[in-house]
Amino acid sequence: MKSLAGLALRSLWNRRDTAALTVFSIAVSVALLLGVLHLRDDARASFANTLSGADLVVGSRSSPVNLLLYSVFRIGDATNPVSMAIVDKVARHPDVAWVVPISLGDSHRGYRVLGTVPAYFEHWRYGHGKALAFTAGAPFADLYDAVLGAEVAQRLGYRTGDTLVLAHGVGEVSFANHDDKPFRVAGVLARTGTPVDRTVHIGLQGLAAMHVDWTSGAHAPPAERVSADDARHADLTPTRVTAFVVGMKARSAVFLMQRALNEYASEPLTAVIPGVALTQLWQLLGVAEGALLAIACCVVAAGLLGMLTAILTSLNERRREMAILRSVGARPRDVFMLLWLESCLLASAGAAGGILLMYAALIASRPLLLQRMGVAMELGAPTTYDLALLAAVIGTSLLIGAWPAVRAYRRALADGLSIRL
């Protein structure tokens, strides 16, 4: 068996160009399959780790998935705001431990601006109950203070004490800026791997101060504008917010509060449990995930069929090689094993190359995925499921490789020594 393995290696080396292309095609297909699975699992983990410890997310009447996307993941926009009256009412409920209102709508160079209260930095959790931490500065204390997520500060080069101007509306380019009311960077948050990293946090009163002289999305004429200092003396009590997050004192009261909010007569509301809404999101994306996985499996099958084609094509060229092996004492089953081992070696090398290629692609795309999609790709060791898939690929290659091996096995000795015209 050892001599046959060495012979198979030397045979592949003699056809190294074809063998290298075959190995590369299998490696690319395996890398795609494992990459799709890792992207799916890490995307789910990143979404699940975005908000921890919150019992309810409440917003205006909409689908639970839409509410979760715009309030927690900063994807999309709210249909309607909710009144601060209901926020205050829920906060005074004896079963409620804390309430954190959030307000979205503005941006800074493509990053979302979130208006909230100082309690946000105390109660917002991510991962497995991790609290937000500061790498520099502290929560906002002044009306025009801002706290930056880690990515905002890193990508834009901000430090505490720097000045930034927020833009009206959401977009990387804006022609309506709040340049008359600049903000000062009061703190920078530690990296979390969640949308918090891509968010500019300001106080609800600061958000109201920016829009004190705005009406219907338009800035007031120059003669009627309110300066930054004069805005400090205006009534900046927020009347409406985008949504609010609720933490209950006891888990047993979550469903009662959810039902009460969903049936609230004075204002159409939707209260969702984050974990339940995430489950609905994965159900919606299940078809797309299945389609991507099916495409990846088809690519793996194409790579293995390419290996089969390469071996079958080479059989006619190797007729004399097979005949010489038979003439020096090789038995038919030895010829079978030689072709079968070549298939095993090609598939094993392709599987190993696929793992290396996948990790190289993950390392190269990790910053982009984190910046654009908020997905933190983990570079851990291959899981048991990954190894099982690789074993399945190699096992399939052994079944496929049996076909050319059987054909070589059935050829007579005289077949390779005869001359075909």
Full-model pTM = 0.72
8 Å CB contact between 189 and 134: yes
Judged by average pLDDT, the poorest of 23-37, 54-68, 240-254, 369-383 is: 369-383
- pLDDT of the residue at 413: 46
Average pLDDT (404-416) is 56
Rounded-to-integer distance, Cα 408 and Cα 322, Å: 8
Average pLDDT (86-105) is 92
Dig out the tokens for 401 from the structure: 């490789």
pLDDT tens, residue by residue, 217-260: 666 676 677 788 888 888 888 889 999 999 998 888 899 999 99
Nearest-CA neighbor of 149 among 120, 180, 181, 191? 191
CA distances from 200 to 26, 110, 134, 363, 413 (A): 45, 10, 14, 27, 78
> Residue 210 above 90 pLDDT?
no
Q: Which helix (H) or strand (E) holds 82?
A: strand 82-83
Q: Which residues of 389-419 are buried (b: 16+ CB within 10 A; e: fewer)?
A: bbeebbeebeebbeebbeebbebeeeebeee
Instruction: Assign 348 a pLDDT band (cuts: 50, 70, 90).
Output: confident
